[in-house]
Amino acid sequence: MEDKNNDILNEVTGSDYKYGFYTDIDMDQAPPGLTEDTVRFISAKKNEPEFMLEFRLKAFRYWQTMQEPEWAHLEYPPINYQDKIYYSAPRKKPKYESLDEVDPELLETFDKLGIPLDERKKLAGVAVDAVMDSVSVGSTFKKTLSEQGIIFCSFSEAVQKYPDLVKKYMGSVVPHTDNFFAALNSAVFSDGSFAYIPKGVKCPLELSTYFRINAANTGQFERTLIVAEEGSYVSYMEGCTAPIRDEHQLHAAIVEIVAHKDAEVKYSTVQNWWPGDKDGKGGVYNFVTKRGICEGENSKISWTQVETGSAITWKYPSLILKGDRSTGEFYSVAVTNKRQQADTGTKMIHLGKDTKSTIISKGISAGRSNNSYRGLVKTSRRAENARNFSQCDSLLLGDQSGAHTFPYIEVGNRSSIVEHEATTSKISEDQLFYCLQRGIDMEGAIGLIVNGYAKEVLSKLPMEFAVEAQKLLSVSLEGSVG
Amino acid sequence: MLKIKDLSVSVHGKIIIEGLNLEVNEGEVHAIMGPNGSGKSTLASVIAGRELFTVESGEITYLGQNLFDMPAEERAREGIFMGFQYPVEIPGVSIANFMRTALNEKRKHLGLEPLTGAEFLKLMEEKKKMVDIHSKLTNRAVNEGFSGGEKKKNEIFQMALLEPRLAILDETDSGLDIDALKVVANGVNKLKREDNATIVITHYQRLLDYIVPDFVHVLYDGRIIRSGPKELAMELEEKGYDWIKQEK
Ligand SMILES: Nc1ncnc2c1ncn2[C@@H]1O[C@H](COP(=O)(O)OP(=O)(O)O)[C@@H](O)[C@H]1O
Ligand SMILES: [Mg+2]
């Protein structure tokens, strides 16, 4: 009986393969579940060259052998990877005809963040007038870049137009074997951005300023690759301060950065995915692998991040300081409120001589949230005179939230110096009353105090982003005290 | 302007102020003196609306309104200012940013347009001159790493910017050298107008050489046990608090 059942089962499932849906590429969505067919379907949908399909399949097969990591200080119900949808075609039609149809709560938040009207429409998925659309802005922007030989396009476009560059660098910093979520992303990634700065070119614009809305819509498995050739410079911004509600709960992105000799890359991001309701229901799970390599001598990469969203954040932007005298920086503000959980930090791997790294991490926990910093500083035997300075501060609001620090230090030679400082503080009743007595209400007071606390990090953000991020911090903590 | 009737206040179940009466009118300067622990700061905090303290009984009216109906920030916007005995540090928040936020909140409450950055800076320069504080101070984070004197001068500077109707200065003089004391006193005197009032809390007579009060009250064990003209302060200085305690 049992055998017979199995036979039927096999026949049914086996037939899937025979009439494999990957041939039916007119479908807008892959059926739920993740099999080799799903991977083939995605690759076919995107009309990818053979090397991409191979890359994805290799990653998929590896992923199947892996276990989801459990070491992070996070708690969430098991994720069923087989009931998720791994590909849906980009939405062509706007969801709404006018802003009147959009959730008023969302509009109120836009208002508080001071987001311009036309951007609000795009963010909420409302049809935008042709005039207002930033296509024209976008194309002047592109022209300026291409005159200098800078490539800045979607990852899919890069696969088609610059396959050699993609082949050379994709997976070179974050191999598909790196971790569970990286393997998953490598198998099924939807799209993302690609930036290439040629030798000696200083990119004259903050990349992605004009595209931040588009960037916000690239879906659940994003992949970004930035390559800075010798002596080049670029400042790259990703993310969005407006709260993004997304029907996909699981997000697993990869960002790879390569800096060659004397090159400098500044990567800034603001992440504000929907954190879920007050019980944490419906929020986005954000599992991200970001890593940069300072490949050449005297190169420099800095990560600046402001994390306020997601139900769960699992994210450790890391740097491999391979070139001698290369520099790595990590500046982070992570806010958790309500039931949010964040386990975030960085890894600084010093391989080259005289390499330097700085870590400034500012955690803010409110409500019943949990906020953990997890960092590794490692200096190899060859990394003579390596220097690291880490400062990890936690700020607690109320008495139901948690802050945790997990610093790991591995020093491989006698001449390197690693310094770690950590503090935990609370917003005191004295501070709040001082503000109230000057006529500033409770929420204004918390906003001021929190922004003051995070100033060291916020000041590293590009100007325009910094202003938005400040408002975002205040808005994120609304209702957290009193 | 301010009428306190039969006020009793407790903290964590312990009575600190008991049956206190006080009336302050426009144009007046009152000094409240008393030994440590007599309840001076508590009184100031209750007027300013600090929730830590529980009002057990009594009433306070301010400009005809029941003060207990107003949350602390509204009292501030309506013109009550408290100079803190121990001004607190707010790391990373510049005085300029802090005060611009405060002033614009007040203006909004009064139905006025917010000041632009440039307007605010101009006003700030005027006030800095008026109260004679160093210009660099306002770029620094609120009270962070300030000396005792700088903190107190900063309180007076904030008072100058907010132009309160009722200012309560809680031991703004303690810990100051004579020069700083003069700066503080000068500030208070320059800000004095027909339609505002000041309560200076102190336990030294010294400050009253520079700020001349219309009335002096002695607070002891949560009650005002004596009120009189400015000469009372000198008598106190001469004879000490024990004199009053015994008379009581
Ligand atoms: N937060 C508090 N908790 C407990 N007791 C307090 C608190 N604040 C003040 N007190 C008590 O109230 C009394 C009066 O204090 P205070 O008003 O600071 O006096 P003063 O300013 O005259 O020195 C003191 O006995 C003090 O210990
Ligand atoms: Mg006191």
Distance B11 CA to ligand 2 centre (A): 15
Sequence-ordered strand ranges (E) for A249-284 = 250-251, 254-259, 264-271
Q: DSSP class of residue B138? A: G
Q: pTM (2 decimals)? A: 0.83
CB A97 within 8 A of CB A127: yes
Distance B37 CA to ligand 1 centre (A): 6
Atom of ligand 1 nearest to the CA of B203: 22
**CA separation for the pair A441, A449 (Å, rounded):** 12
Chain A residues in contact with chain B using a Cβ-Cβ cutoff of 8 Å: 428-431, 433-442, 444, 448-449, 451-456
Interface probe, candidates A333, A427, A435, A446, chain B, greatest B C-beta count within 10 A:
A435
CB B8 within 8 A of CB B55: yes
**CA separation for the pair A445, B93 (Å, rounded):** 11
Burial readout A311-342 (b: 16 or more C-beta within 10 A, e: otherwise): bbbbbbbbbbbbbbbbbbbbbbbbbbbbbbbb
CB A296 within 8 A of CB A263: yes
Q: DSSP class of residue A323? A: S
Residue range A254-286, pLDDT digits in tens? 999 999 999 999 999 888 777 777 666 777 788
Atom of ligand 1 nearest to the CA of B85: 21
> With an 8 Å Cβ cutoff, is B72 touching chain A?
yes
Cβ distance A454 to B109 less than 8 Å, yes or no, reads no
Query: Minimal Cα–Cα distance from B74 to chain A, Å?
Result: 6
- Read off the pLDDT of each residue in A63-74 and give the average, rounded to a whole number: 87
Smallest CA separation from ligand 1 atom 9, residue: B42
Smallest CA separation from ligand 1 atom 16, residue: B39
Residue B145 dihedral angles phi and psi, to the nearest 5°: 70, 15
Nearest to B163 by CA among B226, B76, B68, B54: B76
A341: pLDDT strictly greater than 90: no
Degrees (nearest 5) of the Cα angle B36, B12, A433?
75
Question: Distance between alpha carbon B171 and the CA centroid of its chain, in Å?
Answer: 8
Residues of A in contact with B101 (CB under 8 A): 440, 444, 448
* Residues contacting A39, CB < 8 A, separation 6+: A53, A56, A57, A60, A187, A188
- Read off the pLDDT of each residue in A3-7 and give the average, rounded to a whole number: 46
> With an 8 Å Cβ cutoff, is B77 touching chain A?
yes
> With an 8 Å Cβ cutoff, is B99 touching chain A?
yes
**What type of residue is B66?**
N
- Residue B111 vs residue A154, higher pLDDT: B111
* Residues contacting A164, CB < 8 A, separation 6+: none
**Residue of chain A with shortest Cα separation from B87:** A434
Distance B34 CA to ligand 1 centre (A): 13
> With an 8 Å Cβ cutoff, is B60 touching chain A?
no
Residues of A in contact with B84 (CB under 8 A): 434, 437
Atom of ligand 1 nearest to the CA of B38: 22
Distance B203 CA to ligand 2 centre (A): 9
Atom of ligand 1 nearest to the CA of B53: 1
Smallest CA separation from ligand 1 atom 7, residue: B11
A106: pLDDT strictly greater than 90: no
Q: What is the residue-level pLDDT of chain B in tens, covering all 248 positions?
A: 999 999 999 999 999 999 999 999 999 999 999 989 999 999 999 999 999 999 999 999 999 999 999 999 999 999 999 999 999 999 999 999 999 999 999 999 999 999 988 899 999 999 988 887 777 888 899 999 998 888 998 999 999 999 999 999 999 888 788 888 888 888 889 888 899 999 999 877 888 889 999 999 999 999 999 999 988 888 888 887 777 776 55
- Please give all residues whose beta carbon lies within 6 A of any atom in ligand 1, as ranges: B 11-12, 16, 34, 36-42, 52
Q: Give the SS3 label for residue A400.
A: coil
Of the candidates B76, B109, B158, which has its C-beta nearest A436's C-beta? B76
- Residue A31 vs residue B213, higher pLDDT: B213
Probe residue for ligand 1, chosen from B7, B10, B41, B170 as the CB with the greatest number of ligand atoms within 8 Å: B41
Atom of ligand 1 nearest to the CA of B39: 17
Task: Please give the CATH superfamily to which domain B2-247 belongs.
Answer: P-loop containing nucleotide triphosphate hydrolases (3.40.50.300)
| B82 sits in which H/E element | strand B80-83
ipTM: 0.96
Query: Minimal Cα–Cα distance from A108 to chain B, Å?
Result: 20
Cβ distance A440 to B73 less than 8 Å, yes or no, reads yes
Distance B41 CA to ligand 2 centre (A): 4
pLDDT band at A95 (very low <50, low <70, confident <90, very high): low
Query: Minimal Cα–Cα distance from A481 to chain B, Å?
Result: 14
Task: Give the domain ranges of chain B.
Answer: 2-247
